[in-house]
Structure 1
Amino acid sequence: MDKLKRWIKENPIYAVAIGIGAAHAVAAVMESTAHIIGSSGYAIHASKRKKNS
């Protein structure tokens, strides 16, 4: 843990870049998951509507 803290102090730019990269990766995964859930929810809703009409 001390090695990591020292590395962050010596390389703050890399630490920030890795942090931003991780945040972007998490955001991208969450966004794609939301798209999948949203599109499948829409498909289910559309198929229910077709059966009713």
Structure 2
Amino acid sequence: MSWLLALGMPFLLYGPNTLFFFLYTWPFFLALMPVSVIIGIALHLLVKGKILF
């Protein structure tokens, strides 16, 4: 449900120009995905399961 809010907020703020924003910025988010995976693995190894949600 939060993903719906995350995608809906730019449409409410910027209107139809949001489509062009997504069209031009998705490669940058795709390029940052491996970085976020590596950071997640590093944090998991540092914490070693000590944080419980």
Please report the TM-score for the alignment, with normalisation by the length of structure 1.
0.39
Instruction: Compute the TM-score of the two structures, normalised by the length of structure 2.
Output: 0.39
Bigger CA radius of gyration = 1
